[in-house]
Structure 1
Amino acid sequence: MWARLPAPDVADRDFWTADRVAADCRSALATADAERGTPWPQPLASHYARFFRDGDRTAYESRVAARHARLTRATLAALLDPRTDRVDEVVDGVLLLCEQSTWCWAAHDDTFDRFGRVTPTITEPYLDLGAGEVAAQLAWIDHLLGPALDERAPGVRRRIRQETRTRVLRPFTERRDWWWLGVDHPIMNWSPWIQGNVLAANLALEDDPDRRRAVSALVAEGIAAYWTSLPADGGVDEGYHYWWQGAARALEAQDLLGFAGIEPDPASLDRIRATVAFPHSMHLGGDWYVNVADGAARPLATWPWNVVHAWAVRTGDAAAAQHAASYRGLPGGLFDERASLPRAVRMLSDPAWADASDGAPPLVPSAVFPSTGVAVARSGAGETRGLAVSVKGGHNGENHNHVDVGSVIVALDGVPVVVDAGKPTYRAGTFGPDRYELWVVRGDWHNVPRVRGVEQAPGGQFGARAFEAPPAADSRPWRVRLDLAGAYPVGGLEHWWREVVLDRAAPAVTVADTWSFADAPDTHASGESDARDAAASPPDGRTAWHWLLAGDVTLTPGSAVVRFAPQGGPTSPRELTITWDPAAADAELDVRELDDPELTAVWGEHLTRLRLTARTTAPSGTFLVTMRPTGSGSLEVV
């Protein structure tokens, strides 16, 4: 029989009883056995309606994710030993999904906009990320456990096909105006994420060979369009976090297309080769990564590094392969944030990943992505000790955008200390007209200045006017220079040059802002200071520099000492000292208590903003901030 998907099914007992597979699944198996016989997670109509009533996404989505996770564990348990009670558990989970009124997440459903309803409209299924995830999970279950399902629960596979055809496969082919296909909207991570899942459902569940070929061809076109949308240098404006839900999803879809006999064209392969280098280029040390946009600095999930490893080997990127393989020996390597069955099974059944030799990550000395204006450098190649710095240029209309043109992140011994707060828990307003009222998104809580009382503005027209960065192999003092003036709606602002230098020998990071105005010093486009954050906005329109710091901060005249001891990971015994000219700026600390679980999981209970307010409104000048490990070299103000 034709193999529908590229993994051994339950009939391959040599594979599923192998010691390595059993060891990798040990934790999932123990949890599955403990769960069996207990009530399943139950998303209710009231949970779904909360998004439309009070903006809460978590009540519904967390229960959906928990249901997926349990079914994934149940499936792995049944594959290891397909006894009747384990297969029955899978059947129960499958039928619960088939009987769910919608597979769409409430935050994406158009039922309220179109019909004014807070419950799903089952006759108008919406094809979103959630629907694609259910379809793919059912497709892989059908492929993996098909014989066991036929023997134990005749009819359940027919039900899987019926529901998937109605909710996913038909909407995909009959509606070609989905915005995530690039119709009147830039292509972003939804496109490969959904289309890869559609492809899995098509290969496993579509019995008509003509329709199967047609859907595969449509997906191939869509994935090629996604690769075309990425810049040639491999940069991703959504950053490291969404690389895994965009580029990685496209790589997984490309694997399935290859299994179906459709290989990437040369142009797509060039983009693949470039983007495979992105994750390790963003690595600071340990489990810390440069985060921009809606991204966490410390991933809250374990990503499928086997995908990176396979494509790095295929494209000849030794550093990317080495970085991916460094995760091979770590525990908990099967599941992503949605407890994805496809990702778990593909990892288990990848022989090259099974044989990969784990070791130290490469920790490249620097990387530059001109397309997105992102540059990263560290004190020395192959080591976390010392300083690492990143600079973000680009513009303020990017995917999952934060107002952060010119923002700087500084890590000490691989741990970020001068930070980007990152991704908040999503709610209704996160992507609505009030997005830029969220503190975590605003410029005042990124490491950029508020110029004459004016915050950076959102929108693609507000961005860096220039971005100058050294070649990635440059070993001299590393220097990035960009003009931030275009990011500010401030009248008379001619230039705002920000120069960031990493002196590897010192070691030290310096950030020098040099500005020039053509007008009188108290004139700006907005007419008055933005009052959303009174602390960040001096009433007389003076400029304030902001530095968001993790951990505990001690302020003295002309300096701040920062010590960050993150929970659950390695920490540096050293502190970072930040210095400036105390005659040029007044310093204050604003402590931001954190109550968002996605932020506290990364940073702990609080973040602190160091606010340096200029004492004058000079039409031109330079302000310099220096950061270095406490006790290393001179701490005198330069």
Structure 2
Amino acid sequence: MTIHPGWNWTADDIEMAMRHGAYSGLKYICRWKDRLADTLNDPDYASFWSDLRVYEQKASTENLPELSFSLYRQFRETGERQAYELAYFERRGRLAALGLLAAASPSAERLQLLEDLIWSVCNEPTWCLSAHVPEGKEAGAREHIDLFAAETAQTLAEMIILLNDVLDQRVVRRVRAETESRIFTPLYQEQRIYGWENAEHNWSAVCSGGCGIAALLLLEDEHLRAKAVQQTIHSMNAFLKGYGMDGGCAEGVGYWVYGFGFYTYFAEMLRIFSAGTLDMLSDPQTRAIAAFPGNIHLSGGVFVNFSDSRERETIPPGLLSLLAERQQIQVHLEHRIPLLAEDPCRRWAHALRNILWTNPAVYKRGNEAQMPAVPVYLENLSWGIARGVLAAGEQKEMTAAFAVKGGHNEEPHNHNDLGHFILHGGGENILCDPGSGEYTQAYFAPGRESIFQIGSQGHSVPVIEGAGQQSGQQAEAKVLHIKRSFPEGIEAAFDLTSAYPDAPTLARYTRHLSWNCPPGASEAELFLEDYYQWQQPSDPCKEEHLTEKPPVVEHFMSRIYPVVQEAWVQWEGRKAVVTMHYDADLWDAQVEEVETVDHDHLPLTFYRTALSLQQTANEEGNSRNYTVKETWCRLKFSVHPK
């Protein structure tokens, strides 16, 4: 019998199911070494193994970075977390690399380096990031569980099972003791409450999944292990509640990888340890979630990246291969084994399963099939995505695509971006989303809207009477309609009035977008119409202030510096060109250069094109004519090959 994770079932049910599968599950993990060894001389994996040897070389010649108090204190005192995390993830990178190398090709020197690394990780005062330890709770940080404490527990647990026959047993016992005291005792025996247990986002899946896998592997008490699984499933159900039946991830594709990745990793381990009885991927909702990356893939490995995601995210090929086989999804991405160094967090779970699970045939089948041209509407997220193929001359083709979002401004990893859109051509987001900024204390604190990547000032949405969009769930995009238009287009209309409560004379604001990319056409078109309805100022004393700024400034974001001419603006990408036509009698166009840093603290420049509504004096000479009740902004965008 297959048991779905949403059903109510007891620890006794779980215990009985695992009684028949736990022993074979442990033997299954020991066989992972054979698969790792088989890839050592495979050309497809050559760069991967070469990258791991760089970490091994550093481990043998350079001191392990210390997680000092000087680094730990920086987050609370300055809001910066980068220095601590660079040291932390360098330690995890060396640990993962040596563990994989030792499993594939053990040697006395390699094992000694690994044992020293494991011992050092066991000596860490906390397995958490400094930014995740609650203020004033440093004394209990050893038993605090965050994403990375859970990942560390899983890594060490899988490592000592995989290498049990070659590791010094004192190291094995130390790992068991540390995992017991840091994870199992507070979480499963003392039943301490952790905020992530009921979170409807990635934390519930990653934290519970990492701890749950460690429990499956290391807990010997059958009843306690069953209770641990039951507790893990509770948190996994909370995670699934963060998804609608459309399978969309409000946090973006990067957090889909993280959250649903660890959901899948635990689900597959539980299936193995229950001899196939407990299959969490049999839940129908998980198939829709598994399809999310494909739904938002535009072309050339570039994704819709609303919220805190990159345009180019590395989707672990092991994860995609497993989901393709279990959930019958197609994969339209390049087959490539990513390097451990490409993951800023150096995750053992992804790297190991990329070797174990990746199936090149999945990628071949997907790339031989055409990407679906039917527009995608993720109803729960209010995201619309449409792709089309343009004729590019000399029998070549180029993908053009469009994406728009609704939702509300209190989503996980929220950006104030209601009505924001992306225009894509030739493997590049030309009108783009700024993605994720650098994570600092301020990034998650009150007033975060002032940060470029978070506030509406960093998105292709208007500033109305000097006001940007407000945060909070009450600021929502009311969907007037999102529908497919003939033949492969999409139309979306939102009422965005509630996002601008600080615009004093705004009565109503709606945005209507209509995208069309006919098959075989040489050009795709987007028509945008913003409609503003005005009312008299409620406070006459504010009229003078209102005249200081244009009533409307429309913003359009790109990493490409545009050419501005009267009545049109043009952004020229590597393979495609986007042109915007506007009414120069009503709007003035200017370009602002915005310098910022990305998620990895690397410098990044955006160019914000601003269309400012020209102000017309009334008979009394006031620059704002309050007798005007309505304003329209009608724009045409075209996407065509260079």
TM-score normalised by structure 1 residue count: 0.86
> Residue 608 of structure 1 aligns to which amino acid in structure 2?
Y
Matched, 1:315 2:306: no
> Residue 9 of structure 1 aligns to which amino acid in structure 2?
C
Could you tell me which of 156, 168, 172 is aligned with 1:157?
A: 172
Could you tell me which of 150, 153, 163 is aligned with 1:135?
A: 153
> Taking structure 1 as reference, are residues 278 and 23 closer, same or farther at Cα in structure 2, changes over 3 Å only?
closer
1:390, distance to aligned residue in structure 2 (A) = 0.6
CA distance in 2, matches of 1:429, 1:294: 15
> Taking structure 1 as reference, are residues 37 and 330 closer, same or farther at Cα in structure 2, changes over 3 Å only?
closer
Deviations 1:402-427 (A, max 9, x none): 00000011112221111111101101
CA distance in 2, matches of 1:414, 1:555: 24
1:4, distance to aligned residue in structure 2 (A) = 5.1
CA distance in 2, matches of 1:529, 1:238: 41
CA distance in 1, matches of 2:404, 2:152: 38
Contact 2:481 2:492 in 1 (8 A): yes
1:478, distance to aligned residue in structure 2 (A) = 2.1
What's 1:375 paired with? 384
1:277, distance to aligned residue in structure 2 (A) = 1.1
> Taking structure 1 as reference, are residues 354 and 544 closer, same or farther at Cα in structure 2, changes over 3 Å only?
closer
> Residue 631 of structure 2 aligns to which amino acid in structure 1?
G
Deviations 1:527-553 (A, max 9, x none): 6999xxxxxx98245111011111222
What's 1:455 paired with? 468
CA distance in 2, matches of 1:467, 1:369: 15
What's 2:13 paired with? none
CA distance in 2, matches of 1:524, 1:254: 59
CA distance in 1, matches of 2:579, 2:423: 11
CA distance in 2, matches of 1:48, 1:27: 32
CA distance in 2, matches of 1:609, 1:478: 26
Deviations 1:460-490 (A, max 9, x none): 001112242125x963432111111121104
1:208, distance to aligned residue in structure 2 (A) = 2.0
> Taking structure 1 as reference, are residues 53 and 500 closer, same or farther at Cα in structure 2, changes over 3 Å only?
same
Could you tell me which of 314, 337, 351 is aligned with 2:344?
A: 337
> Taking structure 1 as reference, are residues 12 and 595 closer, same or farther at Cα in structure 2, changes over 3 Å only?
closer
SS for the counterpart of 1:167 is: helix
SS for the counterpart of 1:100 is: coil
Matched, 1:496 2:509: yes
Matched, 1:92 2:116: yes
What's 1:576 paired with? 578
CA distance in 2, matches of 1:590, 1:367: 33
SS for the counterpart of 1:461 is: strand
SS for the counterpart of 2:532 is: strand
What's 1:533 paired with? none
> Residue 592 of structure 2 aligns to which amino acid in structure 1?
D
Could you tell me which of 66, 78, 83 is aligned with 1:54?
A: 78
> Residue 593 of structure 1 aligns to which amino acid in structure 2?
E
SS for the counterpart of 2:310 is: coil
What's 1:293 paired with? 307
> Residue 595 of structure 2 aligns to which amino acid in structure 1?
E
Matched, 1:2 2:23: yes
Tell me the percent identity: 24
Deviations 1:180-228 (A, max 9, x none): 122xxx5211000111100121122222222112111211222133223
CA distance in 2, matches of 1:86, 1:404: 50
> Taking structure 1 as reference, are residues 4 and 31 closer, same or farther at Cα in structure 2, changes over 3 Å only?
farther
> Residue 514 of structure 1 aligns to which amino acid in structure 2?
Y
What's 2:529 paired with? 512
Structure 1: runs of 5+ lacking an equivalent: 115-119, 531-536, 565-570, 633-638
Residues 173-182 or 236-245, more deviating: 173-182
CA distance in 1, matches of 2:28, 2:223: 23
CA distance in 2, matches of 1:4, 1:526: 74
> Taking structure 1 as reference, are residues 596 and 391 closer, same or farther at Cα in structure 2, changes over 3 Å only?
closer
Matched, 1:172 2:187: yes
Aligned 1:127-526 pairs, distance under 5 A: 127-149=145-167, 153-173=168-188, 174-182=190-198, 186-261=199-274, 269-299=283-313, 302-317=314-329, 319=330, 322-323=331-332, 326-329=333-336, 332=339, 336-350=343-357, 353=359, 355-358=361-364, 360=367, 362-365=370-373, 366-380=375-389, 385-471=398-484, 475-489=487-501, 490-491=503-504, 493-505=506-518, 506-517=523-534, 519-520=535-536
Residues 45-54 or 27-36, more deviating: 27-36
CA distance in 2, matches of 1:390, 1:444: 19
1:580, distance to aligned residue in structure 2 (A) = 0.6
Contact 2:316 2:338 in 1 (8 A): no
Aligned 1:71-82 pairs, distance under 5 A: 71-82=95-106
1:380, distance to aligned residue in structure 2 (A) = 3.1
> Taking structure 1 as reference, are residues 374 and 430 closer, same or farther at Cα in structure 2, changes over 3 Å only?
same
1:338, distance to aligned residue in structure 2 (A) = 2.1
> Residue 63 of structure 1 aligns to which amino acid in structure 2?
A
What's 2:90 paired with? 66
> Taking structure 1 as reference, are residues 124 and 432 closer, same or farther at Cα in structure 2, changes over 3 Å only?
same
SS for the counterpart of 2:398 is: coil
CA distance in 1, matches of 2:612, 2:141: 58
> Taking structure 1 as reference, are residues 414 and 108 closer, same or farther at Cα in structure 2, changes over 3 Å only?
same
Contact 2:482 2:491 in 1 (8 A): yes
Contact 1:481 1:500 in 2 (8 A): yes
CA distance in 1, matches of 2:60, 2:77: 34
SS for the counterpart of 2:439 is: coil
The count of residues paired between Structure 1 and Structure 2 equals 593
1:433, distance to aligned residue in structure 2 (A) = 1.2
Computed over aligned residues only, the root mean square deviation of the Cα atoms, in angstroms, reads 3.0
CA distance in 1, matches of 2:561, 2:109: 52
What's 2:618 paired with? none
Matched, 1:550 2:559: yes
TM-score normalised by structure 2 residue count: 0.85
> Taking structure 1 as reference, are residues 40 and 401 closer, same or farther at Cα in structure 2, changes over 3 Å only?
same
Contact 1:485 1:494 in 2 (8 A): yes
CA distance in 2, matches of 1:20, 1:396: 50
CA distance in 2, matches of 1:381, 1:234: 29
Residues 237-246 or 257-266, more deviating: 257-266
Contact 1:334 1:343 in 2 (8 A): no
SS for the counterpart of 1:245 is: helix
> Residue 278 of structure 1 aligns to which amino acid in structure 2?
F
Structure 2: runs of 5+ lacking an equivalent: 1-21, 616-623
CA distance in 1, matches of 2:460, 2:238: 35
> Residue 148 of structure 1 aligns to which amino acid in structure 2?
V
> Taking structure 1 as reference, are residues 35 and 22 closer, same or farther at Cα in structure 2, changes over 3 Å only?
farther
> Taking structure 1 as reference, are residues 405 and 9 closer, same or farther at Cα in structure 2, changes over 3 Å only?
same
CA distance in 1, matches of 2:157, 2:343: 18
CA distance in 2, matches of 1:621, 1:498: 12
> Taking structure 1 as reference, are residues 551 and 107 closer, same or farther at Cα in structure 2, changes over 3 Å only?
same
CA distance in 1, matches of 2:635, 2:354: 46
> Taking structure 1 as reference, are residues 399 and 15 closer, same or farther at Cα in structure 2, changes over 3 Å only?
closer
Residues 389-398 or 163-172, more deviating: 163-172
> Residue 636 of structure 2 aligns to which amino acid in structure 1?
T
Contact 1:373 1:467 in 2 (8 A): no
CA distance in 2, matches of 1:455, 1:527: 18
What's 1:626 paired with? 636
What's 2:3 paired with? none
